[in-house]
């Protein structure tokens, strides 16, 4: 492809994306196909001859677009929001065009420093503790690809600190114990498993009626483990669980840890997973989602969920850069200090992979072109829609609110029980106009309505409610 062909094709692609996002609400939100259908509709080996971009795009319009699940659809009430924005798309385009590698400072200085700056900008905008700032030298922020990776980094830093680095030599994790409730995200357990913490040493802490962690049970279980010769090393507090946006009480959890933990060099790592809800703190009225974060060793939230930054962009901060670098740096210690002395950050030592894209551009573009005010307005709009829906559910004779509505999430169930709730979910999704997902809490079936797509308006929630009402 020549530069001129790229210009023409690029302009057409930009127009096409604008048209897609403008009309995505007219698509069937998820395709009605069976596994293998798309694969079978395409040539099984690479074609021997090339084609032009118009032909390729026609194929994509025919085979690929109709067979996506449309996360940008205004009727997207499933899973979690993953809203994008024009500013973010421009930034991803620029990042691809520049084609630089930000694995260390020297491999592209501006890529590293803009990322550090964006972490600091976001820290201020979210009202997070200054102890997370990169210029503290002990703390710092980084963009990870996903909350799963952020969690794994936190676990590895915790593992290093708990063993005072010995794990790097011995691999011995046999005494380490981790704690979370049954409501924690599956990536916590996956990260622990990867790090060599088996299920036998993952404790399920009790939760209260609102699905928040019970700090007293945490203290009891930690004490029992210490008495048994084991070593508590990691606690995950979730600010906004996936199923219901339940909030674990981080300050009380930190108090519980302090009663058991000597707070010495081996101290238990407290990670706050605010992947879904944390961005709500952009709105000063929702700053409660940060409660207790000043007690945490690390924290993550996802601009790629609810801030108009397209995937991938997870913000991760820690107050213990030393432990993180100890866990992830593959250089000897004396080189680490040299790098620290010069003030350069090598983000390869802050993450699992080596290579990294220039993802900070996405935050820069969104914050400078759109600004934070429209995002706050969007959040408030989603909250109003969720409140209205929750009120309708509460007033309905055959439905009930199944968990305290929080932010953009409403969980409901049918009073006739799980079978009725499951049937309702299927019926609501059958139209292809919107999509909700099922979750299960304490063995009970729930219909989740997660409101967070950029273009979701009252009419889309009304249409959903019409379907819910009609099938209840």
Q: Which of residues 350-389 bind its own copies (CB under 8 A)?
A: 352-355, 357, 364-365, 367-372
295/305 Cα distance (integer angstroms): 25
Under 8 Å CB-to-CB from 56, ≥6 apart: which residues? none
3-class state of residue 414 by DSSP: strand
| Number of residues lying near its own copies (CB under 8 A) | 134
C-beta of 97: minimal distance to its own copies in Å?
3
> Which neighbouring-strand residues pair with 449?
410
Site for its own copies in 48-87 (CB under 8 A): 49-53, 56, 60, 63-65, 67-72, 79, 82-87
243 touches its own copies by CB under 8 A: no
Q: How many CA atoms lie within 13 A of 127 on its CB side?
A: 15
Binder of its own copies out of 310, 429, 445, 450 (CB under 8 A):
310
207/359 Cα distance (integer angstroms): 37
Binder of its own copies out of 117, 226, 230, 423 (CB under 8 A):
117
Stated as kind and residue range, the H or E segment containing 93 is helix 86-98
C-beta of 252: minimal distance to its own copies in Å?
28
Binder of its own copies out of 152, 246, 446, 464 (CB under 8 A):
152
Q: Which stretch binds its own copies (CB under 8 A): 20-28, 247-255, 265-273, 399-407?
A: 20-28
Site for its own copies in 122-151 (CB under 8 A): 122, 124-125, 145-149
The residue count for the chain:
472
Binder of its own copies out of 58, 62, 109, 398 (CB under 8 A):
109
> Which neighbouring-strand residues pair with 414?
399
C-beta of 434: minimal distance to its own copies in Å?
15
Site for its own copies in 194-233 (CB under 8 A): 194-201
Under 8 Å CB-to-CB from 156, ≥6 apart: which residues? 195, 324, 327, 328
Nearer to its own copies, 9 or 226 (CB): 9
From the number of C-beta atoms within 10 Å of its C-beta (0-12, 13-18, 19+), residue 3 rates as exposed
Binder of its own copies out of 120, 225, 283, 467 (CB under 8 A):
120
Q: How many CA atoms lie within 13 A of 36 on its CB side?
A: 0
Under 8 Å CB-to-CB from 22, ≥6 apart: which residues? none
99 touches its own copies by CB under 8 A: yes
89 touches its own copies by CB under 8 A: yes
């Amino acid at each position: 492809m020549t530069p001129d062909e790229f210009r023409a094709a690029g302009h057409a692609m930009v127009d096409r994306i604008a048209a897609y996002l403008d009309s995505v609400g007219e698509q069937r939100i998820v395709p009605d196909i069976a596994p293998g259908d798309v694969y079978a509709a395409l040539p099984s080996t690479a074609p021997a001859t090339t084609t032009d971009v118009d032909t390729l795009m026609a194929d994509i319009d025919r085979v690929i677009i109709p067979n996506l699940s449309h996360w940008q659809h205004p009727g997207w009430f499933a899973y979690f929001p993953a809203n994008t924005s024009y500013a973010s798309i421009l930034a991803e385009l620029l990042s691809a065009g520049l084609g630089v590698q930000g694995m260390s400072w020297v491999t592209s200085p501006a890529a590293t420093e803009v990322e550090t700056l964006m972490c600091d900008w976001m820290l201020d905008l979210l009202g997070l503790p200054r102890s997370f700032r990169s210029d503290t030298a002990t703390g710092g922020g980084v963009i990870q690809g996903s909350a799963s990776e952020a969690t794994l980094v936190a676990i590895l830093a915790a593992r290093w600190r708990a063993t005072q680095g010995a794990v790097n030599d011995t691999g011995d994790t046999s005494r380490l114990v981790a704690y979370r409730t049954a409501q924690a995200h599956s990536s916590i357990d996956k990260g622990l498993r990867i790090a060599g913490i088996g299920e036998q040493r993952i404790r399920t802490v009790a939760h209260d009626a609102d699905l928040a962690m019970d700090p007293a049970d945490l203290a009891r279980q930690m004490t029992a483990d210490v008495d048994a010769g084991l070593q508590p090393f990691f606690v995950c507090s979730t600010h906004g669980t996936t199923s219901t946006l339940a909030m674990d009480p981080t300050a009380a959890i930190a108090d519980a840890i302090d009663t058991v933990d000597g707070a010495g060099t081996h101290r238990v790592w407290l990670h706050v997973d605010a992947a879904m809800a944390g961005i709500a703190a952009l709105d000063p009225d929702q700053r409660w989602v940060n409660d207790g974060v000043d007690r945490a060793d690390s924290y993550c939230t996802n601009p790629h969920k609810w801030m108009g930054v397209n995937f991938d962009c997870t913000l991760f901060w820690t107050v213990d850069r030393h432990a993180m670098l100890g866990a992830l740096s593959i250089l000897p210690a004396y080189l680490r200090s040299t790098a620290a002395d010069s003030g350069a950050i090598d983000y390869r030592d802050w993450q699992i992979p080596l290579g990294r894209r220039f993802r900070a551009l996405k935050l820069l573009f969104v914050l400078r072109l759109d600004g934070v005010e429209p995002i706050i307005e969007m959040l408030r709009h989603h909250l109003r829609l969720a409140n209205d829906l929750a009120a309708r559910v509460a007033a309905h004779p055959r439905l009930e609110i199944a968990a305290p509505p929080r932010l953009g999430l409403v969980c409901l169930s049918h009073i006739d029980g799980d079978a009725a709730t499951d049937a309702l979910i299927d019926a609501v999704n059958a139209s292809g106009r919107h999509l909700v997902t099922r979750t299960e809490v304490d063995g009970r079936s729930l219909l989740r309505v997660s409101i967070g797509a950029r273009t979701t308006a009252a009419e889309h929630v009304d249409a959903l409610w019409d379907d819910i009402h009609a099938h209840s």
